[in-house]
């Protein structure tokens, strides 16, 4: 409730202060000025469609004038149509910055109406007490599995817009609930199913020479993630290229940290992230952590000094950063 009445204030840090050459930026189209400025310091861009995804799941064919709906978090409105998106990716490529498309496995929670595409695919039911969709289903209209459909959609979107990768957002790393971090800690038997889902999707991404990124299971340790169904080492063997550990010692401050402070604060991030990087040692997968920059929708109370502390503390433990959300930082250039 406090967040509903809190005004959003940009963090005030510049791109040069948070992008160190091995940093990906999680943004939507509202992050970019036109013409596109120099985005030096970024390794890559993830254009993320978060809750209630419609664009990724329903895209059929390129329509230059159609609105993408990919401007939910950013303050700018210079890019909006499918033609804009194609040109944006082209201009990012001129700066040698790859662009991945991302989406969440969430849809139509108690606070959100299910999208038209989800209403046509009732097989994708909610996991109880979660906004997450149950992914191990066969879609009746298409006659293929959900994982195969995601792979097909990525191929379509890459052909239309030139994307260089895919990011699997929240809800794609085992079973969980935003309301209770201990719910669904009995899902280790689903590890083979989650691993196979990643194998199907990564095969499609890698056939097109793309990179597969994915969020972790909400910032827990390697062993606890396995209890939710996500074995990161198995996912790396299945083709995951970059695992993004969700370090949110500020963004969750008004939610989980009030009830589970010692499990999700910065000291806990150090402990949990260390178990993740140790478990993935010797695999092809890199581990990045999320760097908090604020969100105009969720109204994160982010303090610049604490974000600097986060970089200083977690940089030695990871292979890079994912800037979340980077819309204000890029838009304020």
The single residue listed with the structure tokens 């700018």 is 76
In sequence order, what are the beta bridge partners of 45? Answer: 25, 99
Question: How far is residue 258's CA from residue 100's CA, in Å, rounded to a whole number?
Answer: 34
For the segment 271-284, the average pLDDT, to the nearest whole number, is 98
| Residue bearing the bigger pLDDT, 198 or 297 | 198
Rounded distance between C-alpha atoms, residue 217 and residue 4, angstroms: 26
CATH number of 2-331: 3.20.20.80
What is the C-alpha to C-alpha distance for residues 74 and 260, in angstroms, rounded to an integer? 30
Share of the chain above pLDDT 70, in %: 95
Q: What is the pLDDT of residues 206-265, one digit of tens each?
A: 999 999 999 999 999 999 999 999 999 999 999 999 999 999 998 876 678 788 889 999
Whether cis (ω within 30° of 0) applies to the bond prior to 27 is no
Summarised one tens digit per residue, pLDDT across range 24-40 is: 999 999 999 999 999 99
For strands 99-103 and 23-27, give the pairing.
Answer: unpaired
Q: What is the pLDDT of residue 4?
A: 58
Q: Is the pLDDT of residue 85 over 90?
A: yes
Coil, helix or strand at residue 3: helix
State the distance between the two ends of the chain, measured CA to CA, in whole angstroms.
32
pLDDT of residue 257: 78
- Is residue 109's pLDDT more than 70? no
Assess whether pLDDT exceeds 80 at residue 68.
Answer: yes
Q: What is the average pLDDT score of the chain? A: 94
Closest residue by Cα to residue 134 from 143, 142, 120, 124: 124
**What pTM was estimated for this model as a whole?**
0.96
Cβ–Cβ < 8 Å for 8, 304: no
Q: What is the pLDDT of residue 179?
A: 86
148-186 tens-digit pLDDT: 999 999 999 999 999 999 999 999 999 999 889 999 999
pLDDT of res. 297: 76
**What pLDDT, on a 0 to 100 scale, did the predictor assign at position 107?**
87
Is the pLDDT confidence value at 15 over 70? yes
Closest CA to 21 of 48, 40, 47: 40
Residue that wins the pLDDT comparison between 14 and 110: 14
* Interstrand relation of 138-139 and 42-49 (parallel, antiparallel or unpaired): unpaired
């Amino acid at each position: 409730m406090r967040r509903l009445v809190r005004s959003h204030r940009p963090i005030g840090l510049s791109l040069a202060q948070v992008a160190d050459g091995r940093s990906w930026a999680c943004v939507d189209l509202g992050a970019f000025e036109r013409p596109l400025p120099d985005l030096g310091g970024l390794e890559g861009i993830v254009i993320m469609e978060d809750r209630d995804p419609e664009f990724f799941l329903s895209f059929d064919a390129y329509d230059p004038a159609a609105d993408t709906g990919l401007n939910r978090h950013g303050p700018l409105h210079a890019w909006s149509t499918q033609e804009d998106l194609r040109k944006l990716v082209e201009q990012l490529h001129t700066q040698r910055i790859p662009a991945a498309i991302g989406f969440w496995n969430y849809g139509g929670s108690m606070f959100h109406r299910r999208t038209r595409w989800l209403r046509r695919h009732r097989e994708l039911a909610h996991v109880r007490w979660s906004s997450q969709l149950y992914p191990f289903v066969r879609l009746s209209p298409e006659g293929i599995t959900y994982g195969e459909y995601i792979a097909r959609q990525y191929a379509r979107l890459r052909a239309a817009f030139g994307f260089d990768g895919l990011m699997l957002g929240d809800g794609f790393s085992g079973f969980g609930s935003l309301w209770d971090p201990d719910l669904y800690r009995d899902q280790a038997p689903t590890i083979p199913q989650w691993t196979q889902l990643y194998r199907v999707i990564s095969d499609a991404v890698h056939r097109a020479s793309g990179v597969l990124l994915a969020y972790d299971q909400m910032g827990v340790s390697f062993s606890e993630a396995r209890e939710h169904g996500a074995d990161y080492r198995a996912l790396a063997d299945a083709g995951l290229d970059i695992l993004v550990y969700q370090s949110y010692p500020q963004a969750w401050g008004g939610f989980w940290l009030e009830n589970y402070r010692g499990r999700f604060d910065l000291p806990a991030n150090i402990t949990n992230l260390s178990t993740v990087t140790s478990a993935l040692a010797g695999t092809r997968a890199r581990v990045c952590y999320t760097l908090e920059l604020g969100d105009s929708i969720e109204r994160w109370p982010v303090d610049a000094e604490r974000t600097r502390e986060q970089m200083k503390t977690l940089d030695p433990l990871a292979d890079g950063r994912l800037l979340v959300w980077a819309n204000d930082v890029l838009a304020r250039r």
